[in-house]
Structure formats: structure tokens, C-alpha cells
Structure 1
Amino acid sequence: MPFIQTHDGVQIYYKDWGPKEAQPIVFHHGWPLSADDWDAQMLFFLANGFRAIAHDRRGHGRSSQTDTGNEMNTYAADVAALTDHLDLRHAIHAGHSTGGGEVARYVARAKPGRVAKAVLIGAVPPLMLKTEANPGGLPIEVFDGFRTALAANRAQLFLDLPTGPFYGFNRPGAVISEGTIRNWWRQGMMGGAKAHHDCIAAFSETDFTEDLKAISVPTLVMHGEDDQIVPYADSAPLSVKLLRDGTLKTYSGLPHGMCTTHPEMINADLLAFVRH
């Protein structure tokens, strides 16, 4: 399996599919998942002539189960190390949830010529946590609850989230996929408990306002209006206002995990954006 080693000795696993001369699209997964969460997008873009790349964030999936560096600056530095190693140029970077924060932090700091476009999907920017400056955010007690549940019984938490709010399977009339739930659990349990615990602060307390302002490439912001994990009103519309060249695409009734529940819709809109 392909890995790169970061400056602090961490092994980062990645997939790199397709012709090396094709335009690369790099996928950044959410907490507490892995590159496997992008299967539907990787196969689709590979079939459409792109070079499809996805990595497991440090502490997640097949990467090292780190007890340090589980915060956004290091996550972005790890991405920079990967893009340098693969010498990616004019790449599209697409991030879901926590991965959207990672994309914002990386793209804002990327070397010239590395990034052509960015996509934020159900993403955590600008800031999830409720503060005086962000009164529409979620209170710290929500994230403390995640930390408590993870420390008490991570395996049960990682069943409860996909069974309920992540995919909207708790909504009346939802078509529930047992395979999707099990796959979420499988990915989550591959990672390290310490890294997952630390990452809760990384995705909830990191303020991406200045990152969004610094991004100059065209950026598509996609968000389900029934997102129960990253509430729509305090995320996507605020991010678009901060971006220099942002486009907002919303989806009525779709959940946080819409890339998995509605890949045909999301993939088509992603393709239209990257080809435009």
C-alpha cells in the first residue's frame, strides 16, 4: 500500500488512481472516517478521465494512530507533503465535513500552481462552535458530549451516528442502508481513539474565517439543508460570503452524508463544476 512519511515520522496512507497526466482531484474525508468514504466519487471521476486521489488523515484509517498533530495546521501540512510528493499541479481539492476545513486551511496556504479549484461539501467552516462572534454555532456542550461518548464507548458512538443523524436515517420514511451503517463503523474503528478525540476540537473550534478570505481559486460550496451534523444556516451561506469566488449549491432535504446517500446527484454537480 502506498504511504508517505511526514516530517514527524507519521505514515500517511493514500490512493492514487488513474493516469498521471490527467487532472488530479483530491478528496479529503470527514471525521472519523477514511479515504474509503469517497468510493462513489473516486470510481466516478476515474471513469470520467480524472486522476482520483484520497488519503487517510493522520490518526484515521490506515495512517499512523498518532497522539500528536491532530489539529488543522498539521492536517494541512500533511496534505502539502502529499501534494509535494506526488507533484500535483492544478488539482481540484474536495473536502467533506472536517475534510472541508482541511481543504480550506490547505488551499489558503498552497504553493502557486498547486490548486485550480476547491469544493467544500457539508463542511465545517467558517466555525462550528458558538461564540460571541458566532452566535449561531453549536454550544460547547454538544462537542463535550461527543468526547464523553467516545471515551466511554467509541464502538457504540460509531454505530449511533450513522444509524441516526449522519445519513438522515432517523427521519420518517428514510430508506436505511445497513451496509452504509456498517461501512461507516468499519472506517471509524480503523482509526485511533486519541486522534479521533483530539479531532473533535479540530473540527469544532477551528475558525476558518481568514482561510476562506485568502482562497482565490473558484470554490463550490455544497450543503444539504437537512444536515444534522453541520447545520446549514451557520456554515455554507456564511462561507460563501467570505470567499472571493464562491458558488453556493444547496440540496433540499439532503443529509450530512449526501455524497453516499445521493452520489448520482452530487457527482453530476461536482463534474459540472470541475469541467466549467
Structure 2
Amino acid sequence: MPEVTARGTRFHVQTIEPRESTATGPTPCSAAPPPIVVFVHGLVMDNLSSFYYTLAGPVAGAGARAVLYDLRGHGRSDRTSTGYGAGDAVADLFDLLDALGHRRPVYLVANSFGGVIALNAALARPDRVAGLVLIEAYGPSERPGEWTEDMLNTLGKSALVLEYEELADRLLAAGWRRFGRQAATADALVNGTSLLDDLAAVEPVPPAALASLACPVLAVYGEHSDMAEAGHLLLRSVPDCTLHTMAGHAHSVLSEGTAELLEVMLPWLSHHAGTKVPAAVPASPVPESAVPASPVLEGASSRGGAL
């Protein structure tokens, strides 16, 4: 089912069905339905492909049903003029799951700004979220505006470059078609919608709210990431939290540390969701077209990667 309409918006969705065989041999069919793992990507230059070519295949291989979707305005989903706040994103997620017929509690795997959505989803509907895997996630903070201000500054600078330097046209004219298309999409999203205003209204998730999370959390952050303190805050505040710090990495652990990420995530899912852990986890190569790389949004800080 590549397209689903939720809240009046068309979303691009991909589902990878669970595979019953693992490195230890075939798994007998069970009456119990497979766990559902939903992947939530980051902002602007990101889309579901960042998970499709990294984590989703191995998760399906472990016996889960992997559900990936492009956020509103991203990838192949419809770009609306408004509706980019955390509340809208959470409502989009649950309405999309309803449309797919997934009403059981799901596991959310979220990268970067996707963490804001995942955390708010788990707080809003604890009955529908069985667990969280937060990868370099924004969201947790003891101080209002701590991460939103930096993100808005980065996006604001990008908006000026995209609009006034006509970056998309220049890249296309130079023959850089992929970057040109990405820049054009980013320009339309950042300069043509309420995205920046909606992000400015997003409130951080404070320690008191984190303490009320009813589901287990796996938090993964890069050692050199600007967001590393968020991981420590999650560890201190969430009742059931496991923190894994990836040595030598910054924000782009999803694309640059896929193998280590899987080595941590698959056993965690096995423990909490009952999936299998293959004896060896080969990392899928990420095609160049799937990597959300752009000089517009990368290099503005030490993060790199998707916002």
C-alpha cells in the first residue's frame, strides 16, 4: 500500500513484511501477529529512504513488520501549506496507522526531529506505543528553546540561501540534478509552508514528562553530537531507558554507524518485542540517491545529516 490518506493528506508509505527465516534457520509460523515497527525520519532533506536502506530490512528480517512513511511535505507525501507542528505530526501518525489497520501498540524508531514526534506520540497515546528507539533524537530538554533555537537558526539560514541565491536553479543548471531536486523540494517546504512558524511553537519535553513515559526507551547518540546531553537526560529521567553512546560519531549515526546501530537495536527489540536476532547482521549499502546530503543543511553545525 504505497499511498494512504490520513487527515485529508496523501502519505507515501512502504511496508516490509516480516521474513520468517533467520541465520539460525526457519522460524515456525506462530499464531501471534508480528510486532509492528514504525520508522519516523527527520526534517527537510530527509525521507523514508534513510531507513529503507539501513535499518528496516534487518528489522523485517528479524520478524517484525516494518512500516515507513514520508512525513507531511517530505519525500513523496503531499506538501500542505500548514500542519508541521509536533501535534499535527502525532495526529498524522496515528491516523495513518488507523488507515493501515494497525491498532495494536507499535514500536517507534525515530531519527533526529522524528524523536520529537515519537516522544510526543508516546506521551499522548501510551496505549498505542509499546517502545521507543530514539536515534540522535531532538525533544528532551530541561530548558525551553534549547534545541529549537539552534534548529530554527539553521533552517532560517538555509531558507535565505535557497530563496535569494536561487540554489536549486543553479544546481540544476550545473547538471547536479539530484541536489537540484532536493534543493527545490527544501525551498518549497521551508519558504512555502508554515514549517518554520510551526517549529518555533514546539515545546521541549521536560524531565517531568519524560518520567511519565510508560514504555521502554533505547536512546542512541553520537559521542561528539551536539545532542548528546539529550541522551543523558533521557537516561536520568525515563524509568526504563537504555543509553548507548557511539564512539567517534556525531549526529549522522544512522548513515555512518548503521552496523553498530543494528548490533544495539536488534537485541533490544528481541528483548522487548520478541523478534529474532540474526547471528550476523550485514549492513545494507546505502545508495547515493538515498543519502540526504546537501551543502544547504549540512555543515551548519557539527551535526551533519538530517535535522
Who wins on radius of gyration, i.e. which is larger? 2
Structure 2 residues not aligned, in runs of 5+: 20-32, 169-176, 272-307
Q: Which of 130, 144, 153 matches 2:153?
A: 144
Residues 1:91 and 2:91 aligned together: no
d(CA) in 1 for partners of 2:123, 2:238: 11
Q: Which of 103, 106, 114 matches 2:121?
A: 106
- Judged with a 3 Å threshold, the aligned counterparts in structure 2 of structure 1 residues 139 and 12 are, in CA distance, closer, same or farther, namely closer
Provide the secondary structure at the position in 2 that maps to 1:214: coil
Report the equivalent of 2:91: 77
In the superposition, the TM-score normalised over structure 2's length comes to 0.69
Deviation at 1:136, TM superposition (A): 9.9
In the superposition, the TM-score normalised over structure 1's length comes to 0.76
User: For residues 167-213 of structure 1, what are the alpha-carbon distances to aligned partners after superposition, in whole Å with 9 as ceiling and x for unaligned?
Assistant: xxxxxxxxxxxxxxx98886675454247771586289531125523
- Judged with a 3 Å threshold, the aligned counterparts in structure 2 of structure 1 residues 143 and 29 are, in CA distance, closer, same or farther, namely same
User: For residues 65-122 of structure 1, what are the alpha-carbon distances to aligned partners after superposition, in whole Å with 9 as ceiling and x for unaligned?
Assistant: 111111000000001112222224232111111001110011111262x322111110
Instruction: Report if the CA contact (8 A) 1:124-1:203 is conserved.
Output: no
Deviation at 1:239, TM superposition (A): 2.3
Instruction: Report if the CA contact (8 A) 1:31-1:196 is conserved.
Output: no
Instruction: Report if the CA contact (8 A) 2:152-2:196 is conserved.
Output: no
Residues 1:153 and 2:149 aligned together: no
Report the equivalent of 1:4: 4
- The one-letter code of the counterpart of 2:218 is L
Instruction: Report if the CA contact (8 A) 2:107-2:129 is conserved.
Output: yes
Provide the secondary structure at the position in 2 that maps to 1:240: helix
Deviation at 1:24, TM superposition (A): 1.1
Structure 1 residues not aligned, in runs of 5+: 128-132, 158-181
Which of the two has greater helix per residue?
A: 1
Deviation at 1:3, TM superposition (A): 2.1
Residues 1:126 and 2:140 aligned together: yes
Residues 1:193 and 2:189 aligned together: yes
d(CA) in 2 for partners of 1:78, 1:152: 30
Instruction: Report if the CA contact (8 A) 2:148-2:200 is conserved.
Output: no
Higher mean Cα deviation, 43-52 or 16-25?
16-25
Q: Percent identity?
A: 24
- The one-letter code of the counterpart of 2:117 is E
Q: CA RMSD in A?
A: 3.0
d(CA) in 2 for partners of 1:217, 1:183: 39
Deviation at 1:134, TM superposition (A): 2.0
d(CA) in 1 for partners of 2:103, 2:179: 29
- Judged with a 3 Å threshold, the aligned counterparts in structure 2 of structure 1 residues 253 and 88 are, in CA distance, closer, same or farther, namely farther
Q: Which of 197, 214, 219 matches 2:212?
A: 214
- The one-letter code of the counterpart of 2:51 is W
Report the equivalent of 2:265: 270
Instruction: Report if the CA contact (8 A) 1:60-1:196 is conserved.
Output: no
Instruction: Report if the CA contact (8 A) 1:16-1:53 is conserved.
Output: yes
- The one-letter code of the counterpart of 1:61 is G
- Judged with a 3 Å threshold, the aligned counterparts in structure 2 of structure 1 residues 264 and 16 are, in CA distance, closer, same or farther, namely same
Report the equivalent of 1:161: none
Instruction: Report if the CA contact (8 A) 2:13-2:67 is conserved.
Output: yes
d(CA) in 1 for partners of 2:50, 2:96: 19
Deviation at 1:257, TM superposition (A): 1.4
d(CA) in 1 for partners of 2:222, 2:108: 19
